[in-house]
A and B are shown apart, each in its own frame.
Chain A
Amino acid sequence: MAFVHALFGRSDYAIIGELVEPKSKVLDLGCGEAELLAWLKEHKQVEARGVELSAAKVQRAIARGVSVYQGDIDEALADYPNATFDTIILSQTLQETQHPLRVLTEMLRVGRTAIVAFPNFGHWRVRVSHLFSGRAPKTGLFPYDWHSSPNLHYLTVQDFESLANEQGWHVDRRIFLAGQRQISMAPNLFAEVAVYMFHKPVQKN
């Protein structure tokens, strides 16, 4: 077990901050107020772009000096030509998208590498909550009532692994977080947040 720094109070941001190559082209989908992008611009001299749905967050992101535009993730990706970015980040937003697989596929078209962080629905607390309450799970990680949750799709570490396998994606890094710790044992049970860095192998004719 290793401790992970938090960046803006988030350990997944700290991990992503390490994974992104200096001076690369980065697009952050659902970038919020662009704290991470501003950090990457400052510390890794990346060419930063961001998409965010909330006008209030976009305003603060632009005021921070990051080129962020207000828009929907699916639409934003469609405009870009192939391989425009080195890295595309989707942090804690996959579960809120309408068509997760379509978004992931588009990410791998527009970017060379994708980094995805998502809350693990397979965590033991989620399982326990469901098992004993008999109701839709409510935990620190999934704090919402079923009727007012922004989450549209729930996935586990295992689910993501099989999707990657099925789609033929090559996983470069898989990092599992429990609070401020990085864990490796039984991640589907113990990981609160999973971070995957992956790419689509170049097709050989």
Chain B
Amino acid sequence: MIVESQQARFPSIALDCGVTLHNIDVTYETYGTLDSAKSNAILILHAFSGDAHAAGVDATGAPGWWDNMIGPAKAFDTNKYFVICSNVLGGCRGTTGPSSIDAATGKPYAMTFPVITIGDMVRLQKMLIDSLGIERLLAVAGGSMGGMQVLEWVAAYPESVRCALPIASTWRHSAQQIAFNEVGRQAVMFDPDWNNGDYYSTSKPPARGLSIARMVGHITYMSDESMRQKFGRRLRDKNAFGFDFEVDFEVESYLRYRGAQFVDRFDPNSYLFITKAMDYFDVTQGRGPLPTVFEKADTRFLVISFTSDWLYPTYQSLEIVRALRSRNREVAFVELESNYGHDAFLIEVGEQMEIVRGFLASAFKETSAGLMKECA
């Protein structure tokens, strides 16, 4: 199926930093059909470098980033559910961000863009969902930064979320997570081409800085085991060391390639703003201890973590599970076996698919039964 992205525009949004942002564009995609009771909508939330193109293929033939999970008869079964995915606020893939034109100046916002939060991203998504006439989502689901948005959704709009699926995620960014993000930001900002964020006019973005940031990122998304299996110490197109500082190893080549590729599709300032939003994330901020944050939620949780994920380790998922348990909220949890590290939530779909499919089916059945009872 070829999908086309859609656009929505909102007049203004009040941000956590105190600033009100005007004329916000949101790019989103939808898959499947919204039922007449509007009870089958699922919002998918993308991770750091993702976008609205979650499933199907776009006009260029590129598959969505979670196409293996979303589609007919897949985990998020588009024969049954209406699936929505939007690009986050601060992004660079169609939703307003630092590379968008500020109507007040006629130039890109660049570093005048306000520092945004996960809460702001979710507030904008709520506006989108409201504009689609959906009062209650059957589910909100996402991995990594997507999982943070899931938790924020339940905390901010408990009555609007029937099921929450935070995958390979955390309820607050840890020192280690902040540390890696800071390395990435410094790499971008130390590149002279960054030019205090004003590189849009020079059309010479800080490509070296951004690609180094991405190289670090990719290391944190893999695991020692997956790198050993994928690259080992294999040399790249040679049988002996070059005794220079060109690429010797496969792993060097891979990281350089991924870094360079990222520059073509990602705005360096978005890198700064979105990583900052993740670092600021703590779902308890201004809300009290974790168990009380989800106290009011009549939401069913499915929490998933992966054994080799050292960037978002299982203990962070378990903290969410334990908080929910202490209030007897409905929570299912499993730590899936995988060698792929943090990337597992995008790759390791076999078991994840079965679990998510069954979990959603039972929740949808209960929701439908509940609706029928209300009507009777």
Task: Give the interface of A toward B (CB within 8 A).
Answer: 25, 47, 49, 55, 58-59, 61-71, 76, 79-81, 84
Please state if B325 and A62 are interface contacts (CB–CB under 8 Å).
no
- Closest CB-CB distance, A85 to chain B, in whole Å? 8
Task: Give the interface of B toward A (CB within 8 A).
Answer: 300, 302-303, 321-322, 325-326, 328, 330-337, 351, 354-355, 357-359, 361-363, 365
Please state if B362 and A65 are interface contacts (CB–CB under 8 Å).
yes
Q: Give the dominant DSSP class at A's interface.
A: mixed
Give chain A residues whose Cβ lies under 8 Å from the Cβ of B322. 79
Give chain A residues whose Cβ lies under 8 Å from the Cβ of B355. 59, 62-63
Please state if B332 and A55 are interface contacts (CB–CB under 8 Å).
no
Q: A67's contact among B326, B330, B354, by CB below 8 Å, is which?
A: B330
Complex formed: what's the CA distance from A198 to B331 in Å? 27
Ranked nearest first, the 7 interchain pairs of A and B with the lowest CB-CB distance are A65-B362, A63-B358, A69-B333, A79-B325, A67-B332, A58-B334, A62-B332
Q: A81's contact among B300, B328, B361, by CB below 8 Å, is which?
A: B328
Find the residue from A58, A59, A61, A81 having the highest chain B CB count within 10 A. A59
In chain A, what residue has the closest Cβ to B325?
A: A79
In chain A, what residue has the closest Cβ to B321?
A: A69
In chain A, what residue has the closest Cβ to B305?
A: A70
Give chain A residues whose Cβ lies under 8 Å from the Cβ of B334. 55, 58-59, 62, 69-70
Please state if B336 and A62 are interface contacts (CB–CB under 8 Å).
no
Please state if B326 and A62 are interface contacts (CB–CB under 8 Å).
no
Find the residue from B331, B332, B333 having the highest chain A CB count within 10 A. B332
Complex formed: what's the CA distance from A49 to B321 in Å? 13
Give chain A residues whose Cβ lies under 8 Å from the Cβ of B357. 63
Please state if A80 and B328 are interface contacts (CB–CB under 8 Å).
yes
Please state if A63 and B354 are interface contacts (CB–CB under 8 Å).
yes
Complex formed: what's the CA distance from A190 to B357 in Å? 45
Complex formed: what's the CA distance from A68 to B309 in Å? 22
Give chain B residues whose Cβ lies under 8 Å from the Cβ of A25. 328
Give chain B residues whose Cβ lies under 8 Å from the Cβ of A62. 302, 332, 334, 355, 358-359
Q: B325's contact among A59, A64, A66, A76, by CB below 8 Å, is which?
A: A76
Give chain B residues whose Cβ lies under 8 Å from the Cβ of A80. 325-326, 328
Q: B354's contact among A55, A59, A81, by CB below 8 Å, is which?
A: A59
Give chain A residues whose Cβ lies under 8 Å from the Cβ of B336. 55, 59
- Closest CB-CB distance, B362 to chain A, in whole Å? 3
In chain B, what residue has the closest Cβ to A70?
A: B334
Give chain B residues whose Cβ lies under 8 Å from the Cβ of A55. 334-337
